[in-house]
Amino acid sequence: MNEEPAARLSPRAGALAGMALGGLAWFVLLFGGFGGARASCPQTGHMWVQALAVACALAATVGFGLAIWAYRASASEPSAEWLLGAAGLYVTTLAWAGTVTGAVALLAVDLCSI
């Protein structure tokens, strides 16, 4: 009766969701964040870029957490679930690192001066 929400999610679904969420966050940040910031350079009121960067970093962090959970849930025995969990952890680690680094760059660097 007192079941954790993650217990209802299969490791396969968690790994796939983590990869999708981390990858999507990275692509949105790359094209929407950097592209939008560069396209709106003549104007100074593009505060939405910072909000987008923070939202993408949070989404990638949630995806990373899902991938960690999926890997830990499937690591007890070598199987296809374990392999997918390991691949999900690898992919979301790359997506998370790229998204957080990109978000920090968008918050710290003025792209209009480059």
pLDDT tens digits in sequence order for the chain, 114 residues long = 455 555 577 888 888 999 999 999 999 998 888 888 777 777 766 778 888 889 999 999 999 999 999 888 888 877 888 888 888 889 999 999 999 998 888 888 777 776
Output the pTM of the full model. 0.80
> Would you state the pLDDT for residue 44?
64
Q: Please state, in angstroms and rounded to a whole number, the distance separating the CA atoms of residues 88 and 41.
A: 36
List the domain range (segments joined by +) for residue 46. 10-113
Asked if the structure places residue 60 within a domain, the reply is yes
Asked if the structure places residue 5 within a domain, the reply is no
DSSP summary character for residue 39: H
Asked if the structure places residue 3 within a domain, the reply is no
User: How many domains is the chain partitioned into structurally?
Assistant: 1
